[in-house]
């Protein structure tokens, strides 16, 4: 099938998909119409093959049995072992039909029945709906072998499951035992480490010392905080503010005097300074009071002023002494702070060491307890791990052993149905493959979708009795109308500043109807009243002279070789306005094409004598003659025959002409099916018939 190019605009993608789907449907419809016998043949082969296989197959014997299935096991001490139902039944079915169970069953049958001949036996197993019962069926060529194999499969299946559980129990027990041994070694090692630690450390002493260290560190931290606070106050407050704070500290409770009162007890100058300040205030008050009645020069006023001056100088002395006292006290506080910080660091190291040693003890103790708990749990698991020794009932038991074998034959109807469907599917596959490999055009729609060239006309497919050239008064109305449409398309196509007069008709390969089409087109031109010349341009195999009962020589070849005059080669036909030029002497194989200059000169001469010139050339891929003539004519038209022209060869021909600078002006689709939607004239065939009945009265 030709590959359709993706040239549709984005807005019409849906239309493009619908068109491609329609073309695909048309192609496979055509394939089915023409190759319908392939699926019919493959279906018949499938039916025959299945019938032969069923009828020629030897009789088989069938035996059936049942297994009771349960997904639960009772364990000691009230424990229950169960499996998930969604996976359990499917797993058991696969295990029942496994190769290991089959191998064991074969060995069991041969051991118990050595006289039986070993023949293949097919086994089928399924779950009966809404039950937990397996239906097991065996089919074989010998009845006793079939029943014995079925019984052996059920017994070996149960034995195999038990051995699997036993193996798993042994493996699990061995693994747990190894873990118990390793854990016991670790437990003994941990206990030994704990015992060695207790020998090297007094636990009670460490706990008591740790508590004491914590209390003492707390006291030191409180004392350090008080000393730093007192130092900051002495450094920040003024002398007056410190003296006032000293008075307030006299009322502090005894518990605080240990930290602060001891600092303030030796404050002699400070006390004297306070007393001197009080006396100065009294003197100044007396001076103000006496100044109300006495003048400043009064002896009493002068004496009082002198006393005030003395008291002020005394205050200055006490103030200096008090300041020195505060500085000395700050130095003492700084030393105490440093000593306290040093003591805190020493005790922190001791406390951390005690905490580390106590933490090591707790870690060793916890490790011993953890390992001891795990050790005890593993010891308990060892006693219950062997499921095979502790079960009260098995999960699968034989409910019914194999019944007496009965003869069974394949279902002929089902076999024929499967054979027919399989054969029909193979046939459809062959049709699809043919459709993929066959790239011939089956409709004009497919041709238009595959090529950018315009289709200027469609020629209907004719019957064998209608295979002759057009004549004057021809009764094949649809054929006549098709060529009239092609004539109109050729004459009225846009061609620039001139009207085309010379037309070359070509195709890709022989057999596409090119010569017949060129003849009928020339007849159509002549019937329209145009003086037309038909030239047989196929210099190798041209046979148009037979249609006109004319000789093939002399003709085009002789004119181009200038061996005869032009007028001697032109034949007058029985149809008015139609003239014919035969090919001339056939060119031998391997002969070079005739010079293009002479052919161009010939066309110029003929254009003056005739209205239109139709040239039938050889196929493009058959010889180079068409490629040499095509650039010299006014228009080239390409014939594509339905269900014959290969898309690959068609594209190759167009590319070969394009290399010569030839642009094909249009396509003519030959042998179109008149019953298809691609051929519009067929829908109006009644329109072209002559009226035979009188017109109805109105």
- Residues 416 and 495 reside in one and the same domain: no
- Residues 538 and 595 reside in one and the same domain: yes
447: how many CB neighbours lie within 10 A of its CB?
21
Number of domains into which the chain is organized: 3
pLDDT of 169? 65
310: how many CB neighbours lie within 10 A of its CB?
12
pLDDT of 170? 66
CA dihedral (377, 383, 386, 388) positive or negative: negative
Residue of 498, 524, 689 lying closest to 607 (CA atoms): 498
At 629-650, the pLDDT tens digits run 888 888 888 898 888 888 788 8
Q: Which of 166-170, 254-258, 422-426 has the highest mean pLDDT?
A: 422-426
- Residues 628 and 531 reside in one and the same domain: yes
Distance CA 619, CA 504 (A): 11
Report the relative pairing of strands 502-507 and 532-536 from DSSP bridges. Answer: unpaired
- Residues 306 and 414 reside in one and the same domain: no
Residue of 605, 585, 643 lying closest to 502 (CA atoms): 605
Look at residue 71 and tell me whether its pLDDT is greater than 70: no
Cβ proximity of 547 and 520 under 8 Å: no
CA distance to 310, 395, 658, per residue, from 321 (Å)? 17, 107, 125
Look at residue 260 and tell me whether its pLDDT is greater than 50: no
Average pLDDT over residues 584-606: 73
pLDDT of 244? 67
At 182-192, the pLDDT tens digits run 877 887 887 78
Please tell me what DSSP assigns to residue 10.
G
CB-side exposure of 473: number of CA atoms within 13 Å?
1
Q: Domain for residue 641, yes or no?
A: yes
Q: Domain for residue 33, yes or no?
A: yes
Please tell me what DSSP assigns to residue 573.
-
238: how many CB neighbours lie within 10 A of its CB?
8
pLDDT of 2? 56
Residue of 489, 473, 480 lying closest to 520 (CA atoms): 480
111: how many CB neighbours lie within 10 A of its CB?
9
Look at residue 689 and tell me whether its pLDDT is greater than 70: no
Please tell me what DSSP assigns to residue 646.
B
Q: Which of 73-87, 262-276, 511-525, 576-590 has the highest mean pLDDT?
A: 511-525
At 536-581, the pLDDT tens digits run 888 878 788 788 878 878 888 888 888 888 888 888 888 888 899 8
Lowest mean pLDDT among 148-162, 197-211, 320-334, 619-633: 197-211
- Residues 415 and 541 reside in one and the same domain: no
Phi/psi at 173 (5° precision): -60, -40
Look at residue 516 and tell me whether its pLDDT is greater than 70: yes
- Residues 459 and 426 reside in one and the same domain: no
Q: Domain for residue 151, yes or no?
A: no
**Helix (H) and strand (E) counts for the chain?**
20, 15
Percent of the chain residues past pLDDT 90, beyond the cut: 0
Q: Domain for residue 512, yes or no?
A: yes
Q: Which residue has the higher pLDDT, 452 or 243?
A: 452
Return the CATH number at 675.
3.40.50.300
Cβ proximity of 302 and 360 under 8 Å: no
Q: Domain for residue 124, yes or no?
A: no
List for the chain the helix, strand, coil content (%; round to 5).
60, 10, 30
- Residues 214 and 299 reside in one and the same domain: yes
Residue 259 has which token pair? 């930290």
Residue of 391, 372, 370, 578 lying closest to 472 (CA atoms): 578
Model confidence at 394, pLDDT cuts 50, 70, 90, reads low
Phi/psi at 114 (5° precision): -65, -20
Residue 357 has which token pair? 């040693």
Name the residue with tokens 């180079």. Answer: 624
Distance CA 347, CA 343 (A): 6
Domain span at residue 415?
10-57+410-437
- Residues 449 and 424 reside in one and the same domain: no
Model confidence at 264, pLDDT cuts 50, 70, 90, reads very low
What's the whole-model pTM score? 0.49
Average pLDDT over residues 511-519: 85
Look at residue 5 and tell me whether its pLDDT is greater than 70: no
Phi-psi region at 689: left, alpha or beta (left = phi > 0; alpha = psi -120 to 50): beta
Q: Domain for residue 671, yes or no?
A: yes
- For residue 576, give every residue at least 6 positions away whose Cβ sits within 8 Å of its Cβ, in sequence order, or none: 526
- Residues 597 and 626 reside in one and the same domain: yes
Model confidence at 593, pLDDT cuts 50, 70, 90, reads low
- For residue 84, give every residue at least 6 positions away whose Cβ sits within 8 Å of its Cβ, in sequence order, or none: 71
Residue 89 has which token pair? 């039944």
Q: Which residue has the higher pLDDT, 321 or 13?
A: 321
Q: Domain for residue 368, yes or no?
A: yes
Residue 106 has which token pair? 């074969």
CA distance to 102, 138, 148, 159, per residue, from 124 (Å)? 12, 6, 15, 19
Residue of 471, 612, 464, 460 lying closest to 530 (CA atoms): 612
- Residues 672 and 641 reside in one and the same domain: yes
Residue environment code for 25-56, b if the CB has 16+ CB neighbours within 10 A, otherwise e: ebbbebbeeebeebbeebbbbbbeebeeebee
- Residues 449 and 325 reside in one and the same domain: no
- Residue count (the chain): 698
Residue 687 has which token pair? 């329109």
pLDDT of 266? 41
Residue of 163, 170, 161 lying closest to 88 (CA atoms): 161
Residue 509 has which token pair? 């390969």
Q: Domain for residue 609, yes or no?
A: yes
- Residues 429 and 361 reside in one and the same domain: no
Average pLDDT over residues 134-155: 86
485: how many CB neighbours lie within 10 A of its CB?
17
């Amino acid at each position: 099938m030709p590959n359709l190019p993706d040239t549709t605009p984005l807005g019409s993608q849906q239309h493009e998909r619908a068109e491609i789907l329609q073309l695909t449907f048309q192609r496979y419809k055509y394939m089915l119409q023409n190759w319908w016998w392939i699926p019919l043949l493959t279906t018949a082969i499938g039916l025959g093959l299945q019938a032969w296989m069923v009828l020629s197959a030897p009789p088989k014997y069938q035996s059936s049995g049942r297994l009771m299935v349960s997904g639960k096991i009772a364990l000691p001490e009230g424990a229950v072992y169960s499996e998930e139902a969604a996976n359990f039944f499917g797993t058991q079915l696969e295990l029942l039909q496994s190769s290991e169970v089959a191998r064991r069953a074969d060995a069991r049958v041969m051991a118990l029945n050595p006289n039986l001949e070993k023949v293949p036996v097919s086994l089928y197993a399924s779950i009966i709906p809404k039950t937990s019962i397996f239906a097991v069926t065996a089919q074989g060529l010998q009845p006793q072998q079939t029943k014995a194999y079925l019984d052996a499969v059920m017994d070996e299946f149960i034995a195999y499951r038990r051995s699997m559980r036993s193996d798993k129990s042994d493996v699990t027990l061995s693994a747990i035992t190894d873990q118990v041994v390793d854990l016991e070694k670790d437990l003994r090692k941990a206990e030994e480490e704990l015992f060695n630690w207790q020998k090297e450390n007094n636990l009670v002493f460490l706990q008591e010392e740790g508590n004491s260290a914590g209390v003492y560190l707390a006291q030191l931290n409180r004392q350090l905080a008080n000393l730093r606070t007192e130092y900051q106050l002495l450094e920040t407050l003024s002398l007056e503010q410190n003296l006032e704070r000293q008075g307030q500290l006299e009322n502090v409770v005894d518990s605080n005097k240990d930290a602060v009162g001891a600092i303030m007890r030796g404050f002699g100058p400070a006390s004297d300074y306070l007393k001197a300040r009080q006396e100065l205030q009294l003197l100044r008050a007396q001076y103000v009071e006496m100044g109300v009645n006495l003048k400043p020069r009064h002896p009493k006023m002068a004496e009082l002023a002198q006393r005030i001056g003395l008291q002020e100088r005394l205050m200055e002395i006490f103030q200096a002494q008090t300041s020195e006292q505060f500085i000395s006290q700050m130095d003492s506080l700084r030393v105490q702070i440093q000593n306290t910080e040093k003591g805190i660091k020493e005790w922190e190291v001791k406390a951390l060491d005690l905490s580390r040693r106590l933490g090591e003890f707790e870690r060793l103790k916890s490790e011993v307890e953890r390992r001891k708990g795990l050790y005890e749990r593993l010891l308990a698991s060892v006693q219950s791990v062997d499921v095979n020794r502790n079960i009260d009932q098995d999960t699968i038991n034989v409910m019914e052993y194999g019944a007496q074998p009965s003869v069974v034959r394949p279902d002929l109807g089902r076999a024929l149905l499967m054979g027919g469907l399989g054969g029909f599917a193979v046939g459809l596959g062959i049709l699809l493959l043919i459709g993929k490999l066959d790239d011939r055009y089956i409709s004009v729609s497919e041709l238009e979708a595959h090529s950018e060239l315009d289709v200027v006309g469609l020629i209907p497919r004719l019957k064998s009795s209608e295979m002759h050239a057009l004549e004057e008064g021809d009764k094949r109305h649809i054929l006549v109308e098709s060529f009239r449409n092609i004539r109109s398309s050729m004459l009225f196509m846009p061609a620039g500043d001139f009207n085309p007069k010379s037309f070359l008709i070509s195709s890709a390969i022989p057999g596409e109807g090119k010569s017949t089409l060129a003849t009928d087109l020339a007849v159509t031109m002549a019937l329209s009243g145009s003086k037309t010349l038909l030239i047989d341009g196929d210099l190798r195999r041209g046979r148009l002279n037979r249609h006109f009962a004319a000789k093939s020589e002399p003709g085009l070849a002789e004119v181009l070789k200038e061996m005869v005059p032009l007028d001697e080669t032109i034949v007058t036909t029985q149809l008015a306005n139609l003239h014919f030029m035969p090919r001339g002497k056939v060119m031998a194989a391997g002969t070079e094409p005739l010079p293009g200059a002479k052919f161009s000169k010939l066309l110029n001469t003929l254009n003056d004598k005739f209205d239109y010139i139709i040239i039938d050339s050889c196929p493009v891929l058959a010889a180079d003659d068409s490629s040499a003539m095509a650039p010299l004519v006014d228009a080239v038209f390409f014939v594509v025959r339905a269900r014959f022209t290969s898309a690959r060869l068609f594209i190759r021909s167009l590319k070969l002409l394009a290399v010569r600078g030839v642009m094909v002006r249009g396509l003519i689709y030959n042998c179109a099916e008149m019953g298809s939607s691609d051929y519009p004239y067929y829908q109006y065939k009644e329109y072209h018939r002559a009226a035979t009945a009188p017109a109805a009265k109105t």
